[in-house]
C-alpha cells in the first residue's frame, strides 16, 4: 500500500509538471507569435511597475504624471490588463481619460487676445464712413496709413452688422445652394484623433441636394495629389454635376482647382463664415 501511494504521488507530480510545461510552452509560443514591439512595450511596462514598487518601499508615494503618461502610451501597443499589477484597471482607464481631457483642453485653448477698444471704434468708424470697403480694404488701410497689422477676419468681427430688416444687396449663399443643389457636390476634411493621440484626416464628398455620401477615405498625410485622386474616383466622367464646393484650405491649391475644372466642374470656394460642410455630413 505504501508503495502504491508513492507511485500515485509521483504520477500526480509528473502530471502536474506536464500540465505546467504545456501551459508554459503554449504561453511561450504565443509570445513568439507577437511582434517585437509589443514584447518590448510589455517588458518596459512591467519594469516601470517593478521600479515603482521598489521605490515605494523606501518612500511611500503615488505614480507621477510622467509615469502615468508613459504607461498609458505603452498600453496602446499590447493587451495591458494581464500586465497591470500596481493599480486597478478602473484607475488606469481614468488616467487615459484624463490624458484625453488634457489633449482637448490644449486643442481648444484660447486664441489671439482681443484688440484694444480704440482700434475697435476706429474699425467701426471706417466701416460706417466707407460703406463700399470690405474687411480686406480696411485692413490694408490700417496697415499702410497707421502701420497697424490686423487680419481681415478680425476686421469683420468688429464691423457693424447690417440692421435687421434691411435687404441685402447681393444673393445669399443659401439661395445659391438652394437653386442649384441638385448639381452641386461638396467636399471637406474632418479630423479624428485616435486612442494613441494620432490625428487622422477623413475626406468626405457628398451630394448637396440629396445629402448622399459619394465618397469617404482616411489618411494620415493628405496632399493635393491624394485629394485629386479621391475626386477622380468619386466623380465619374459622365457626371451631371456643375459645381464643387470646398473651403479655403491650403491643400486645395490652384493646380487642384484646375484639375477639377478639367473634370467639367466649376469650383466654388466656400466663403469665410459660411457653415462648414462637416455640419451637413453629421446631419446626413
Instruction: Render pLDDT for 143-188 as a digit per residue (tens, 0 to 9).
Output: 988 888 888 888 888 887 766 666 555 556 667 667 778 888 999 9
HEC sequence for the chain: CHHHHHHHHHHHHHHHHHHHHHHHHHHHHHHHHCCHHHHHHHHHHHHHHHHHHHHHHHCCCCCCHHHHHHHHHHHCCCCCHHHCCCCCHHHHHHHHHHHHHHHHHHHCCCCCCCCCHHHHHHHHHHHHHCCCCCHHHHHHHHHHHHCCCCCHHHHHHHCCCCCCCCCCCCCCHHHHHHHCHHHEEEEEEEEEECCCCCEEEEEEEEECCCCEEEEEEEECCCCHHHHHHHHHHHCCCCCCCCEEEECCCCCCCHHHHHHHHHCCCEEEECCCCCCCHHHHHHHC
Q: Please tell me the predicted confidence (pLDDT) of residue 278.
A: 45
Of 172 and 5, the structure prediction assigns the larger pLDDT to: 5
When the pLDDT of each residue in the chain is averaged and rounded to a whole number, the result is 81
Q: Please tell me the predicted confidence (pLDDT) of residue 229.
A: 93
Q: Please tell me the predicted confidence (pLDDT) of residue 30.
A: 63
Q: Please tell me the predicted confidence (pLDDT) of residue 275.
A: 54
Instruction: Render pLDDT for 27-42 as a digit per residue (tens, 0 to 9).
Output: 556 656 567 888 888 8
Q: Please tell me the predicted confidence (pLDDT) of residue 237.
A: 84
Q: Please tell me the predicted confidence (pLDDT) of residue 162.
A: 67
Instruction: Render pLDDT for 229-263 as a digit per residue (tens, 0 to 9).
Output: 999 999 988 888 999 998 888 888 889 999 999 99
Amino acid at each position: 500500500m505504501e508503495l502504491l501511494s508513492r507511485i500515485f504521488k509521483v504520477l500526480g507530480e509528473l502530471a502536474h509538471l506536464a500540465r505546467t510545461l504545456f501551459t508554459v510552452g503554449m504561453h511561450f509560443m504565443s509570445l513568439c507569435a507577437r511582434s517585437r514591439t509589443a514584447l518590448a512595450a510589455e517588458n518596459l511596462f512591467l519594469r516601470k511597475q517593478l521600479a515603482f514598487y521598489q521605490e515605494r518601499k523606501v518612500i511611500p508615494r503615488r505614480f507621477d504624471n510622467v509615469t502615468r503618461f508613459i504607461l498609458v502610451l505603452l498600453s496602446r501597443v499590447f493587451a495591458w490588463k494581464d500586465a497591470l499589477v500596481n493599480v486597478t484597471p478602473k484607475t488606469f482607464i481614468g488616467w487615459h481619460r484624463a490624458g484625453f481631457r488634457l489633449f482637448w483642453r490644449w486643442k481648444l485653448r484660447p486664441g489671439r487676445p482681443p484688440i484694444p477698444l480704440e482700434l475697435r471704434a476706429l474699425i467701426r468708424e471706417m466701416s460706417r464712413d466707407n460703406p463700399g470697403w470690405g474687411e480686406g480694404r480696411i485692413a490694408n488701410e490700417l496697415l499702410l496709413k497707421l502701420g497697424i497689422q490686423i487680419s481681415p477676419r478680425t476686421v469683420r468681427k468688429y464691423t457693424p452688422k447690417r440692421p435687421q430688416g434691411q435687404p441685402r444687396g447681393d444673393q445669399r449663399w443659401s439661395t445659391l445652394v438652394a437653386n442649384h443643389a441638385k448639381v452641386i457636390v461638396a467636399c471637406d476634411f474632418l479630423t479624428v484623433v485616435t486612442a494613441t493621440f494620432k490625428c487622422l484626416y477623413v475626406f468626405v464628398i457628398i451630394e448637396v441636394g440629396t445629402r448622399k455620401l459619394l465618397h469617404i477615405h482616411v489618411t494620415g498625410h493628405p496632399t493635393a495629389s491624394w485629394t485629386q485622386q479621391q475626386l477622380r474616383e468619386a466623380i465619374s466622367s459622365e457626371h451631371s454635376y456643375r459645381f464643387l464646393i470646398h473651403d479655403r484650405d491650403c491643400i486645395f491649391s490652384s493646380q487642384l482647382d484646375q484639375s477639377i475644372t478639367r473634370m467639367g466642374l466649376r469650383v466654388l470656394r466656400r466663403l469665410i463664415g459660411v457653415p462648414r460642410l462637416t455640419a451637413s455630413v453629421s446631419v446626413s
